[in-house]
Amino acid sequence: MGLMEKFFGLSWGIHPKDHKRPAADAVTRIMPAPERLYVSLAQHLGAPALPSVLVGQRVKKGDLLANPQGSVSAAIHAPTSGVVAAIGEIPAPHPSGLPVLAVTLAADGLDEWSEALEATPDPFALAPDEISRRVAAAGVVGMGGATFPSALKLASSRKAGVTTLIMNGGECEPYLSCDDRLMRDEADAIIDGIRLMLYATGASAAIVGIENNKPEAIAAMQAAAQAYSEVSVRSIPARYPMGSEKQLVQTLTGKEIPAGSLPAEVGVVVHNVGTAKAVRAAARYGQPLVSRLLTVNGGAVKHPGNIVVPIGALVEDVLAFAGGFSATPGRLVMGGPMMGMSLPHARVPVVKGSSGILALAGAELADREEGACIRCGSCVRACPMGLLPLEMARHIQGDDLKGAVKLGLKDCIACGCCAYVCQSHIPLVQYFAYAKGTLAAEDRAKLHADATKKLALARGERLAQEAREKAEVAARRKAEREAAKLAEAAAKTATAATVKTVETEGAPA
Amino acid sequence: MLVAISSLTILGAAFGLILGIAGRFLAVEADANVAEIEALMPGTNCGQCGFPGCSGAAAAIAAGEAALTCCAPGGKAVAVALAEKLGVSLDLSGVANEGPKVAGVAEDLCIGCCRCIKSCPTDAILGAPKQIHNVLKEACTGCAACVEHCPTEALLLHPVPVTLPHWVMPRPAAAF
C-alpha cells in the first residue's frame, strides 16, 4: 500500500461537499444559560456518574453534581448557578430516544462561579500526576465526540511511555466547524493546553494536524506555536475521515496502528484540540467542563454559526438562540452528518461530546431508493480501513455475523464512506452497526449465561449438602433409636432373667 | 494400463486400511459429544424441555431424539450454537425469537407461599412466608419454571426492557 500511495496518493476516503462556510466564518456567539438545564449523568464513555446533590439543593456554577463511578467514568458539574429541581429520567440525545438519568437544574440567572475552584499560577510546577488528577476532578472528556475520560488517557499514556502527542484538528466531518473556530479564536489557549498535556503524558513532541481547508486556523495555530519548538502545526490533505485516529496517525507519522490495538502501541496518543483547551482550564484555573463550543448548521437554520453552549441546554433552546429556522427541518442530527446521531426530537440536552447540532432540510435529505449490489467495488476503494464492505454486508444479510467478523467487521470504524459512495444506495454502515450491536448483545448474553450456570451449580451443591445432612441426621436418629431398643431389650431380658432366677430360687426343692 | 490399474488398486487398498485402523483407534466416544453439547446448554436444569436436566437433554440431542430448538430459556441463540456444533442445518422459520425474557412478581397477587422459590434453578427468587416475593433480574434466566408453580398466577415472564447501553441499531430492511 505504501508504494501505491507514494505514486498515486491516498486511495481511501471520500470528498463530500463540506458545507462548513459561512458557519465557520461567523463570529462565535455565547449562549446564556436557559431557565432549565438537563445535565445527563451518562455523557461520557464508561459507567454513568452517581449524583452527589439532593433535590432542592442550591449549587453554583462549577459545583460537583455527580461523582465518577467505577474505573472508567467522569465527574459532572453544574453548568450554571441555581437549584437542583429534579433527579430523574429524561430522553437521551440518541436515535432511540430511550431515557437517561439526569440532574435538572433551575437556573437563577446569576451564573455565579463556585468559590472552591483550585486555580494555580504555574501548573508546570505541579507533578504530572497532579495535572491528571485536576483534569479528572474537572470531568474533562474527549471533545471530539468519543468522550473517553481524558485524565485516564493522560495517565495511561504516561505509563505506556508515549513519545508523540497527536492533536486532532482535522475536523473532517462536513458541516462542523467548531474546532476550526476554536483554533482561530483561542490558538494561544490551545497551545498552552497542548504543552500541559505534553507535561502530563511525558511525551516529547506534539504534532497538530489540521486539514488544508482551514487556512485561517493553520495560520493562527502556527503563529501561536512559533515560540515552542516541541509543538509543530502541520497541514494535512482535506479528506474524510482524516479526523479518525488511525488515519490521522498514519498521515502524520507514517506509523500504522495494528488492528485491535491502541495508538500507544506505536508510541503515540491522539487528543482533540478542544480537549487541550478544557485541560488548560482545568489545570490552570480549576474550571470544570461545563460548556462547549458547538456548530449549529444545516439548510433549515436561519443563522448558522458556532455557539458556546452550557452543557445540559436543550437542543430546541440552542436552535432558538441561534435564530430559529428558515425552513421546516426534515431531520435533526447531533454531531456531523456522517457519524452523528439522528435525534427523535429537539427536547434532548447538549452533552460534553456534542460537536454540532444540524437541522437538515430539502435536498440535504434526499431519500434514495436502495438497489441491488452491482459489485462495482466503490465501497472497497473508499474504505479507510481496507475492508470489503460489500462482502461483509452480504454476510450480515444472510445472518452470518461470524463470516462478517472474519472479514474484519471489528476493524470497521463506522465512518460511513461505504454507504456514501454506494451506487445502489445500500445502507452498508447501518448493517455494520446492527451486526456490531448484535454481537455485543450475544457476548453479554454469554456472560449472563455463565453467571447463572454458576448459580445453578451452587444451588445443586446446596441441595445435595442439605440432603446429605438430612440423611446423616436420620441415620443418627435411627442408630439412637436402635440403641435405645437394644438397651430396652437387654433390660427386659435382664429383668426376665432375674425373675426367672427368683422363680427358680423360690421353687420348692 | 495394467500398471495404472494395479497401482491405483494398491493405493486404494492401502489408504482404506489406514482409514479403517484410524477409525478404530481415533474413534470419538459418544460421551464426549454429549459433554460438549451440554456445555452449550444454559446449565440451569430447569426441565422446560421435558428431559431430566440439561445433561438429559444433551444426551437426547446427541441421540437425535430431541429437536435442537427444545431449550426454552436458551432460545434461538442456543439452537444456532447447537446446529453449528453438530454441523446440521437448522430451520428457524418456525421458531419465533421473542428475545430474552425475565420473570416478574405481580405484587398485588403474590400471597407469599414460597413455592416458586423452591422451583427456581438459579435461586433468583427472594422471599419469606407471607411476604411478597421478588425476582433478582440479574440471576433470572427466564426459564419459566416458577410460572407453573405459582398458585395465584402472580409470576409472569416479561421481555427484558431495552436500556440505552443495551440498545442495538435495528437491522435495515433488505430491499434485495
Over residues B22-59, the pLDDT tens digits come to 988 887 665 678 888 888 888 888 888 888 888 888 88
Taking residue B102's Cβ as centre, other Cβ atoms within 10 Å add up to 18
Q: Kindly tell me the burial class for residue A37, based on how many C-beta atoms sit within 10 Å of its own C-beta (0-12, 13-18, 19 or more).
A: buried
CB-based contact A360:A299 (threshold 8 Å): yes
Provide the number of CB pairs (under 8 Å) joining chain A to chain B. 81
Helix (H) or strand (E) holding A274: helix A273-285
The CA distance from B108 to the nearest CA of chain A, in Å, is 26
CB-based contact A145:A168 (threshold 8 Å): no
Q: Is A81 left (phi over 0), alpha (psi -120 to 50) or beta?
A: beta
Residue B106: closest CA among B162, B139, B147, B46:
B147
Q: Sorting pLDDT into bands at 50, 70 and 90, what band is A506?
A: low
Q: Sorting pLDDT into bands at 50, 70 and 90, what band is A136?
A: very high
Q: Is residue B41 part of a domain?
A: yes
Query: What is residue A108's three-state secondary structure?
Result: coil
Q: Kindly tell me the burial class for residue B127, based on how many C-beta atoms sit within 10 Å of its own C-beta (0-12, 13-18, 19 or more).
A: middle
The CA distance from A45 to the nearest CA of chain B, in Å, is 10
**Chain A residues with beta carbon closer than 8 angstroms to that of B123:** 455, 458-459
Cα separation, B140 vs A452, whole angstroms: 7
Q: Sorting pLDDT into bands at 50, 70 and 90, what band is A105?
A: very high
Q: Which residues of A449-466 are buried (b: 16+ CB within 10 A; e: fewer)?
A: beebbebbeebeeeeeee
In percent, the amount of chain A with pLDDT more than 90 equals 86
Answer whether residue A509 shows pLDDT above 50: no
Higher pLDDT, B76 or A427: A427
Q: Sorting pLDDT into bands at 50, 70 and 90, what band is A234?
A: very high
* The pLDDT of residue B98: 67
Residue A207: closest CA among A188, A223, A219, A221:
A221
Angle between helices A178-185 and A215-225 (to 10 degrees): 40
Q: Give me A433's grid cell.
A: 452497526
Answer yes or no: do A434 and B163 touch at CB < 8 A: no
Cα separation, A18 vs A21, whole angstroms: 8
For residue A475, give the amino acid letter.
A
Cα separation, A483 vs B143, whole angstroms: 48
Residues B79 and B43 in one domain: yes
Q: Measured between CB atoms, which of A98, A100, A455 is closest to B139?
A: A455
The CA distance from A439 to the nearest CA of chain B, in Å, is 10
Residues B157 and B129 in one domain: yes
**Chain B residues with beta carbon closer than 8 angstroms to that of A455:** 44, 122-124, 139
* The pLDDT of residue B52: 82
Q: Which of B41, B59, B86 is the last residue of a domain?
A: B86
Per-residue pLDDT tens for A412-449? Answer: 999 999 999 999 999 999 999 999 999 999 898 889 88
Higher pLDDT, A408 or B55: A408
Report the pLDDT averaged over residues B98-118: 90
Report the pLDDT averaged over residues A357-370: 87
Residues B108 and B148 in one domain: yes
For residue A507, give the amino acid letter.
A
Phi, psi (deg, nearest 5) at residue A503: -60, -45
Q: Is residue B1 part of a domain?
A: no
Q: Is residue B129 part of a domain?
A: yes
Nearest CA in chain A to B78: A446
Higher pLDDT, A113 or A446: A113
Q: Sorting pLDDT into bands at 50, 70 and 90, what band is A88?
A: very high
In percent, the amount of chain A with pLDDT more than 70 equals 96
CB-based contact A78:A110 (threshold 8 Å): no
Give the domain range for residue B108: 101-161
Report the pLDDT averaged over residues A29-51: 95
Q: Is residue B169 part of a domain?
A: no
Cα separation, A263 vs B160, whole angstroms: 37
CB-based contact A280:A117 (threshold 8 Å): no
Per the prediction, chain B carries an average pLDDT of 86
Answer yes or no: do A445 and B100 touch at CB < 8 A: yes
Query: What is residue A326's three-state secondary structure?
Result: coil
The answer to whether B29 contacts chain A (CB < 8 Å) is no
Residue A379: closest CA among A395, A397, A393, A398:
A393
**What does the CA dihedral A443, A445, A446, A452 come to, rounded to 10 degrees?**
150
Higher pLDDT, A366 or B69: B69
* The pLDDT of residue A46: 92
Higher pLDDT, B69 or A322: A322
Report the pLDDT averaged over residues A493-503: 73
Residues B39 and B64 in one domain: yes
Q: Is residue B133 part of a domain?
A: yes
Per the prediction, chain A carries an average pLDDT of 93
Q: Give me B161's grid cell.
A: 426492557
CATH number at residue B70: 1.10.15.40
The answer to whether B167 contacts chain A (CB < 8 Å) is yes
Answer yes or no: do B43 and A452 touch at CB < 8 A: yes
Q: Measured between CB atoms, which of A100, A434, A460 is closest to B170?
A: A434
Q: Sorting pLDDT into bands at 50, 70 and 90, what band is A166?
A: very high
Q: Measured between CB atoms, which of A371, A434, A456 is closest to B43?
A: A456
Report the pLDDT averaged over residues A14-42: 95
CB-based contact A356:A24 (threshold 8 Å): no
Residues B107 and B77 in one domain: no
Answer yes or no: do B164 and A397 touch at CB < 8 A: no
* The pLDDT of residue A502: 63
Residues B82 and B107 in one domain: no
Higher pLDDT, A299 or B53: A299
The CA distance from A453 to the nearest CA of chain B, in Å, is 5
Answer whether residue A5 shows pLDDT above 70: no
Q: What distance, in Å, lies between the first and last C-alpha atoms of chain B?
A: 55
Residues B69 and B118 in one domain: no
**Chain B residues with beta carbon closer than 8 angstroms to that of A452:** 42-44, 122, 124, 139-141
Pairing of strands B125-126, B101-105: unpaired
Q: Is residue B119 part of a domain?
A: yes
What is residue A256's DSSP assignment? P
CATH number at residue B111: 3.30.70.20
Taking residue A380's Cβ as centre, other Cβ atoms within 10 Å add up to 18
Q: Which residues pair with A76 in a beta bridge?
A: A66
The CA distance from A77 to the nearest CA of chain B, in Å, is 22
Cα separation, A425 vs A414, whole angstroms: 16
Nearest CA in chain A to B77: A442
**Chain B residues with beta carbon closer than 8 angstroms to that of A438:** 168
Domain count, chain B: 2
Q: Is residue B172 part of a domain?
A: no
* The pLDDT of residue B73: 80
> What domains sit in chain A, N to C, each tagged with a CATH number?
373-501 (1.10.1060)
For residue A202, give the amino acid letter.
G
For A124-186, the three-class secondary structure string (H helix, E strand, C coil) is HHCCHHHHHHHHHHCCCECCCCCCCEHHHHHHHHHHHCCCEEEEEECCCCCCCCHHHHHHHHC
